[in-house]
């Protein structure tokens, strides 16, 4: 009984699998790709943390301390400056993520009283990284004190946290969630537009009309851009009021940059809609193409500087990578266009790249 029904049906399914090599390839490659990304991206260790050093002591002892920090694989001393008042400016420009301030009486106190205090400042906009950087530096100074053979702890650390002194996790997480929701919603809204035309059979009417490819793509993007912008305003205001995320910058600039981010998300959705034939596949692909990379590779949870170089390059074509810098910079640091223009320029370039690909793909269909 089983042989007469079960085995022929099984044989038929094997034949279907053999005739669909692309699905088999996807099934084989997807676990490898996921294992590669997860294995390297899920890394809570910090490496190559950019550190600024303000050495007011300028003695061999202080220089030796700086060399100890720079020799560590966790830190890169990228700025040396003489005025402690420059510290906040370096954080606003995202030039450093931690700063060590060595007071003028450091070596004198170390030689006289046997102990001295140094200042350590971290960036609270990324609470996890700030805590890890602080712990790493304190451990480094502790190890150096113990290796010096002195009694007690010769080098004591006085810490200060900029922008999020209470280390509220909501201040770090909520802007990241806004970035994730907007890229996902924006891509979902437009990913079904051209696929819907294909399913309903109205694509032929568009193909026979004198309309140009860019007019079709931009005409489909504009209504969803307005709708996505209204959703974005609601999400951001809700996060600000409900979770008490501070707003230190300009609402106007945040809304302008939010529009550019949504344009990039809609461009990704339009490109996906030109690649697939059904709305269902378009929605699944848009979720896979936006949600997973934005969570894993944008710096939302895992620090980009700790990832391998190839993944760091891939992270630069993910729009959320740049929007996270923008929204955290505006809301938590009070940044403006002068500090954020590199991230804005990169985000716009990614958006133009995807919208150009979408127009090119649609042009192929017209031909």
Q: What pLDDT tens digit does each residue of the chain (367 aa) get?
A: 555 677 777 888 888 788 877 777 777 877 777 777 777 767 667 777 889 999 998 888 888 888 888 888 788 889 999 888 998 888 888 888 889 999 888 888 877 777 788 888 988 887 777 888 888 888 887 777 666 555 555 777 888 888 877 778 788 888 888 998 899 888 888 888 777 877 777 776 776 777 777 777 778 788 888 888 898 899 899 989 998 888 999 999 999 999 999 999 988 988 888 888 788 888 888 888 888 888 888 888 888 877 888 888 888 999 999 999 999 999 988 888 988 999 999 999 999 999 888 888 877 665 5
Q: What is the distance between the alpha carbons of residues 166 and 114, in angstroms, rounded to a whole number?
A: 32
Considering only CA atoms, which of 195, 196, 174, 190 is closest in space to residue 226? 190
Q: What beta strand segments (E) does the chain contain? A: 49-55, 75-81, 98-102, 116-123, 155-162
Contact yes or no for 266/189 (Cβ under 8 A): yes
In the sheet with 75-81, reading across from the earlier edge strand, the strands are 75-81, 49-55, 98-102, 116-123, 155-162
């Amino acid at each position: 009984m089983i042989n007469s029904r079960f085995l022929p049906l099984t044989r038929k399914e094997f034949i279907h699998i053999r005739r669909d090599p692309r699905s088999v390839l996807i099934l084989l490659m997807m676990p490898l790709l996921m294992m590669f990304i997860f294995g390297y991206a899920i890394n809570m260790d910090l490496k190559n943390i950019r550190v600024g050093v303000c050495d007011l002591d300028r003695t061999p002892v202080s220089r030796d301390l700086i060399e100890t920090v720079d020799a560590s694989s966790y830190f890169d001393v990228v700025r040396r400056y003489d005025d402690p008042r420059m510290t906040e400016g370096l954080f606003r420009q995202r030039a450093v993520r931690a700063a060590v301030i060595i007071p003028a009486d450091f070596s004198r106190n170390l030689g006289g009283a046997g102990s001295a205090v140094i200042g350590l400042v971290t960036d609270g906009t990324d609470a996890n990284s700030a805590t890890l950087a602080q712990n790493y530096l304190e451990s480094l100074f502790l190890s150096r004190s113990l290796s010096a053979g002195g009694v007690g702890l010769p080098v004591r650390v006085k810490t200060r946290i900029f922008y999020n002194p209470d280390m509220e996790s909501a201040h770090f997480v909520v802007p990241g969630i806004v970035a994730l929701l907007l890229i996902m919603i924006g891509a979902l809204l437009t990913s079904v537009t051209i696929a819907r035309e294909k399913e309903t059979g109205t694509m032929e009417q568009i193909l026979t009309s004198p309309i140009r490819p860019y007019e079709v793509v931009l005409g489909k993007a504009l209504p969803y851009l307005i709708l996505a912008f209204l959703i974005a305003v609601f999400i951001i205001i809700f996060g600000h009021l409900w979770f008490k995320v501070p707003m230190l910058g300009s609402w106007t600039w945040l809304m302008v940059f939010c529009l550019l981010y949504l344009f990039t998300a809609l461009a990704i959705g339009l490109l996906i809609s030109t690649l697939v034939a059904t709305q269902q596949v378009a929605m699944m692909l848009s979720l896979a193409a936006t949600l997973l990379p934005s969570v894993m590779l944008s710096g939302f949870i895992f620090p980009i500087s700790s990832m391998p170089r190839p993944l760091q390059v891939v992270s630069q074509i993910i729009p959320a990578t740049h929007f996270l810098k923008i929204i955290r910079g505006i809301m938590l640091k009070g940044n403006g266009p002068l500090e954020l223009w590199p991230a804005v320029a990169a985000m716009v370039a990614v958006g133009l790249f995807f919208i150009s690909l979408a127009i090119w793909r649609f042009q192929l269909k017209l031909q």
